[in-house]
Amino acid sequence: MRFAIDTSVFVAFFLRDDEYHNVAKKLIDELFTGKVEYACTSVINIAEAGYVIEKATDNENYAYSCMYAIYNDIPIDIVTVTWDFITTLAHFKAKNPISFCDNATLAAAYIRRCKAAFTKEKEIITKKKNIVGAEIVFIDELNL
């Protein structure tokens, strides 16, 4: 399995009261054990995770610790801001009726030739058939 991991998965992992916490934890655990062949995320998604976690917890230090863990401790490839990423993200945002950061997940997936892994965000569910870029999978539907 090869995945670009969306912000929503990291938020679920770091917020224990999130409805997708257990399945997100299982996915992250499988990154550490090598059961997932490859995973990546973009720097944009890391920044988004930070602000979402800080807003949810009102704890800037915890949010920074989470971002640090994603960037340095979780065994994933970090997709940086290259010309290829910038142009792919801009094109997907022009075509897709979803958020900029969700398009960053799709751009990372497209560039790294993998699936985009999301929690079941309402925006993604309702607009999935109109989204271009990469195949979308929902983490609670994976056989983890």
Q: Any idea what the CATH number is for the domain that residue 38 is in?
A: 3.40.50.1010
SS3 52: helix
Average pLDDT over residues 20-49: 97
pLDDT of residue 143: 83
Q: Over the stretch 59-86, which tens digit does the pLDDT of each residue have?
A: 999 999 999 999 999 999 999 999 999 9
pTM confidence score? 0.95
pLDDT of residue 94: 97
What is the rounded CA–CA span in Å between residue 76 and residue 2? 11
Q: Looking at the chain, which runs of residues are DSSP E strands? A: 2-5, 38-42, 77-79, 115-118, 136-138
What is the rounded CA–CA span in Å between residue 30 and residue 24? 10
Q: How many residues does the chain have?
A: 144
Q: Which domain holds residue 126?
A: 2-141
Number of domains in the chain: 1
pLDDT of residue 144: 80
**Alpha carbon 71 to chain centroid, angstroms:** 12
- Structure-token pair, residue 80: 């940086």
Concatenated DSSP letters of 88-126:
HHHHHHHH-SS-HHHHHHHHHHHHHT-EEEE---HHHHH
Asked if residue 127 has pLDDT above 90, the reply is no
Characterize 23-60 residue by residue with b for buried, 16 or more Cβ atoms within 10 angstroms of its Cβ, and e for exposed.
bbeebbebbeeeebeebbbbbbbbebbbebbbeeeeee
- Mean pLDDT taken over the chain: 96
Q: Over the stretch 81-112, which tens digit does the pLDDT of each residue have?
A: 999 999 999 999 999 999 999 999 999 999 99
